[in-house]
Amino acid sequence: MEKRSQGNIPRPKLGYQYYQDGQHYRDKDLQTWLPALKALSAGYVLLSAPDDRAIPECFICGLVEGGITPVVQFQLPLANPVDHHGLAVLLRAYAGWGVTYVSLFDRPNVRQSWGSGGWVQQRLVERFLDAFVPLAEQVCQTGMQPVFPGLEPGGAFWDTVFLRAALKGIKERGHTRLLEKLVIGAHAQTGGHPLDWGAGGPQAWPDVRPYDTPASQQDHLGFRIFEWYAAVSQQALGDVLPILLLTASATSEEESLEIARMLTGRSEPQLPDYVLGGCLTGLAVDQADAADLPAWHQADGSPLPMAAQVRDWGAEVSNKTSDQPAQTEPPTEKKAAPPPAKPIQHYLLLPHPSWGNPDWFLKVAQPYIKKYAPTTGYSVEEALLARQVTIVGGVQVYPENLKETLESAGCTVIQVSGSGTDIASRLARL
């Protein structure tokens, strides 16, 4: 097949994995999460789609109108036949609402995806293609782009071997149009390795073999998995297909922020053009806790420190690119720039000695202070000068309507309240 031009492929964008339970698609969920996603400069959001009903139109259209590209993921069972007619109805609806990418199935290279009776490695790839190709062609018929499902890195059936065989199989079956529209999905997980683990792909680590990574070598089981998948695509098709990181996850906040920097073009080297974007995991605390990952937001959508930092990046870009009035007169003597509206980045507000027991609150907050190094004090006036304010304690130890006052002044506010053990536990989770 001919080499595909990369000219119409967008630069990498930052994305997030939304709740995968299919239960957070109400109007109030959109009102909570659309502003949060926009503030995080989200270009993509990965949505879990039921196969028997559509995600509500208002939710999809709200994202699209907000400039966010939904990636609809059907985690279909490989053990049971798929209702092609019912799925076709859903696909037409999603196409009409502005969806671009549809991911079909998930991790077909592990036993759990096939059920107790379907996992037989003989002809496994061919049997997967029997299920995948007709549905992917349906996606193409609607004008959307099908996403080859993310494979489990490594996996019981080695993922790079599975991917190579699948791409060759699609080509051999003559599905040229499908290959022209196909996007490869990937799960980019650090797996305890540094972010540059496996950088350079198989050309840089030529002695790596499936299930065998010599001590002197690095494999694809890390964030740079896309370089290895690109090499597989090039070998199988003579072309590098676009790659979408359906999940991009790290086990530390520092690495999560570094991945966000890569996806926003804030770090060097830049990600390659063929990487469309990546969906960071842990959008909310209740998602992150289940997978033991760092979180971006509280369950109510209020930002945690990682999210606040990414929001600041967006504010910097906005300030740099804001329209300036045309200069019609010769420049005059420059005036000193006004001081920043919010000179304090992060303020930890503790109850004033006249409101509560400051020693106890200060002791409980010590791990949090060591972790984030916020400006710490008892002054509401100082807190009003901060971009983000973390309030320790409930309404009984602060002036009435304190949170509303801070939010009205443009502060992003997190309030940690409850019993003594509740406060200690919540601070430990932030």
List the domain boundaries for the chain: 13-314, 344-429
One of 3.20.20.80, 2.40.30.170, 3.40.50.2000, 3.30.930.10 is the CATH number of 13-314, namely 3.20.20.80
| Beta-carbon contacts of residue 337 (< 8 Å; ≥ 6 apart) | none
Q: Which amino acid is at 87?
A: L
Q: What is the percent of the chain where pLDDT is above 70?
A: 87
Q: How many C-beta atoms surround the C-beta of residue 426 within 10 A?
A: 18
In the three-class reduction of DSSP (H, G, I as helix; E, B as strand; rest coil), residue 126 is classed as helix
Average pLDDT over residues 200-216: 95
Domain spanning 344-429 has what CATH number? Answer: 3.40.50.10330
Supply the DSSP string of 309-348, one letter for each residue: HHHHHHHHHHHHHS------S---PPPPPPPPS--EEEEE
Report the chain's terminal Cα–Cα distance, integer Å.
Answer: 50
Length of the chain: 430
What is the C-alpha to C-alpha distance for residues 250 and 188, in angstroms, rounded to an integer?
Answer: 9
pLDDT at position 418 is 67
The more confident residue out of 357 and 129 is: 129
365-402 pLDDT, tens digit each: 888 888 888 888 888 888 888 888 998 877 666 777 88
pLDDT at position 395 is 62
What is the C-alpha to C-alpha distance for residues 238 and 215, in angstroms, rounded to an integer?
Answer: 31
Mean pLDDT of the chain: 86
Q: Please, what sign has the CA dihedral across residues 251, 190, 107, 17?
A: positive
38-61 pLDDT, tens digit each: 999 899 999 999 988 999 999 999
Instruction: Judge residue 274's burial from the number of C-beta atoms within 10 Å of its C-beta, 0-12 exposed, 13-18 middle, 19 or more buried.
Output: buried
pLDDT at position 356 is 54
pLDDT band at 286 (very low <50, low <70, confident <90, very high): confident
Q: How many C-beta atoms surround the C-beta of residue 273 within 10 A?
A: 14
Q: What is the percent of the chain where pLDDT is above 90?
A: 57
